[in-house]
Structure 1
């Protein structure tokens, strides 16, 4: 869309053409000026710059090409778009026009629509170009602002980093003024620290020339005495571009001139709402117009410096506290060292005292260790006999003259002033008024060996009269005495327990001897009874006696003799297993084939009792080296128990496999559960679970005990668990016993059928 107020300049030496073109352009809303020659055109352009020029080529004095070249050569007019109007339609004329700098070339006679469109197009290009220039200018300004902002952020980040990395305030202040001076390119940047009278010292500085340096100078500004510091306390800054043109008091200007200051920018550093100092940047060579961003940046920097100052002061306070704490720690360390040495000594003595169960050796150790630890001249320990009323010295360790007091006895009633407090658990330290007859003047410390059950004895420390036991020494002696009391009680308990153990071992041997004797003594009567019943059965058959009652009595007698024989065999086997004299007769077996007869036997028995028996024996079992008789007894006992306690209609399972180079046998029956309270005892001798034998088979209570012993004898383990409504025994056996026990060359005492023939 064409701007209605665009300023156009029409240049043509033909007046009619100028009027016609001007009328056309005015009619379409343009502001039009006219020139009939090149010189007139230059004057008109100099008076007011046009937005676009319509230029005729052929003119006297200065043709269109010369005028265009002149305009393009001048910086103020080089960017004015020029459209040539000419009756010449040759290509070289057009090329020349464009080479000079024309933006378009229209051939006369011109068409109204064409020239208006081309003018509008060029004006649009001008406007867009101007917009681009304006946009570039704004972007450049933004870029400059961003660059300044980045430099500010870099400075603040640097100072913040220094604050975080260091607690040395002087290093932080030096870095701050150095970075500020480089960033602002001023002559001097400094930090001024106030004193109580509002004088102050330049404590950090960066200068562009060494001649501007005022570091370390103490400055007293008389103006501050007139409350000029109040604005700074309120956080206000002071910006002075030229001190000679400012409203400063004469005294202040005079002071600044003495410091070579021409321009001054001052930012307060506030610490906990108190005016700590000033951050100042100065120009010394000439006045300077400070920029708002410079003042803003210095305010932010002052805030960071305030944080650094606070951290530094806290650091100094912390150092002071640390120094106090170090002194306290040293004192406490000394105390702990003493306590550690005390505990170490006590532990060493305690370990040695508690390392023995010999009562005399306990007291001997305590006496010797106390003498060496405390550096006294002597120590002895006494044991009290309250029945006889005597205290007898058990052991003495001394360097004093006068002989050994060991085995000397003193009546407790002879020295009531000493032994009555000791009997009540109190320690005594004293120096006799009369020198000891044997050892001369000595100081003594008596400490009872006492516990909650009463007095056991005492410990006596003896030393020269100039040495008194400290509280620490007394505490050590008391602790050692307490440990002696514990150790003596333990020794006496141990002796009592040993006596009880020996008595129990004697009773156990008597029991085993009794069972062995009874078992052997019962062998002959049982053999006779078994033979007698067999002979009676034969006699009845020969005589044709078929009395039912007599046969029933003989059957009962036969079954009871078999049960008694089984009990005796179990007892004898357990005796040999406990004594380690049962021979281990190893053989290599194919377990699947070997166990077939056992499986068949219990298969028939389970069917007779309306139970389901399943044997899951792995096909790939390797040959097993074991004691076949012992393994058969184990399997028979566990399967027999399963048949006993499984109700009709429930299952019995035997599973055999090799896993991790071990033989695993699992015996599980369903329909019955062993209470958790019974499980820990089922392998005990003569232990039976009541009310569980549904078929009333009975038993001796030795089957599981013997089973566990046989499993262990074969180098294996047996475990039992009873989940809901089932019981499972799991046995793990080595494929070959690792350590077979030494065999007893004597035969076993187990009864067999041969004993009855």
Structure 2
């Protein structure tokens, strides 16, 4: 064998220390030597082989007990505690412990070599040692006479350097710690624990190093039998599997916890989204169902303030020139009241520049500012639609609270709905104003028609009276001397003129009467009084005045009246006006030689 004599890993002149390596690693402590595999050495003087006949039976019992605990689903701590107890009892050693690296890259001061709350007396000798690895003793079984290390976090620099050594599956067996060359720190640790012999086996599963199984003899030196080493290797393999399973269980538990937390958070977000979607729907329905702008502003501010639990909510509206903004409505749980407050946009150019670009703005104004409401978190969301800006929706919270992104989205949605509702309310108000104006003009027209109708009736009555008087006077003269001076042709002409005057006066009177009737009908003040008539007889009576006119215009009149017509219930005055107007138009627009036809019949509905 060739090895550096200073290397504690391989020393062919000292059979008290051997290394069983999967592949030869470089020497850890030598300058130029290379450690080589060493098989079981000769038995040193004074050492004891532990080759009892029951070793094989004990190995089977330890192995079966360990497998049974793993299979039963016992906790990792229970498995490790039971394993170290069984190993110590069956092998008759003084200490068995399981150490696990938490993070081999973590560095801690070398003076942490002492065991947390119970430092060893020699720990002060290591204050100048370089930082090393961090290992936690998670399971230990020992005789009562020796210093315990269970639950202690050991800082072992040489183990940090040996991490790669053990990760390759190598084990280290020391028969006599006094007969081998150890590092200062390793020697210090062995001295503190009164170790005489030691065996260190890595806990490896799937090429991952989880820790080491350390078996130590303290009362005397011990020669470790190959069978014992093989047993420890098999036990270490099972312990590594148990640790790996526990790590997987913890990982699954951690992932399950994360998944549950994520699911809970997602459900919470969904519930929150549903809650605020319901809020948007509720507010939208209430403001869109209203065409009153004041009611819209009141509903939006009140519902939004209550849902988001804010101190104050208000809506300011721009004027037509977009130069000033006036607080149109405000909901607040405490004074002051800002209703009617006007603000000139030129005084806050940065704020309104963002709002004019349809961007919400959140900011905090210090209490020292000259604003009426200082030292509060403010959020301003623009109210706009495709026709332009309408105003802004303002919300206020205490200084240490902010409006979250999802809240801003909800507020902006309600601001958009407010813009639509306000536009609709204003359009409705404008249309109502137009309707009122049309009604006013219509009333003026009706008043004018009534007035002019009454004014026309007075002179017309005078004309009719004058014509009647003149006709009577003329009749008296015709009975005396004037009659002899007139021939028959002139008398007929005079009679025809008087007849025309009577007819046109009567016609003008009817037109004035119709105009008054139309005014009353539009106003709804003329009550209908229907009567039952024989339609055929009524038509024959009303045709008599038109017979001469039709003959004079060389027109033909055809009357076809259905027999046995049922009585007709109608407003007689209105029917007379309609019939007269139709017949007048027929006489007026029918050419000479053409026919004017009048017929009656029964029209049955749904036929």
TM bucket (normalised to shorter chain) is 0.3 to 0.5
* Structure with larger RCO (C-alpha < 8 A, sep 6+): 2
TM-score by length of 2: 0.46
TM-score by length of 1: 0.38
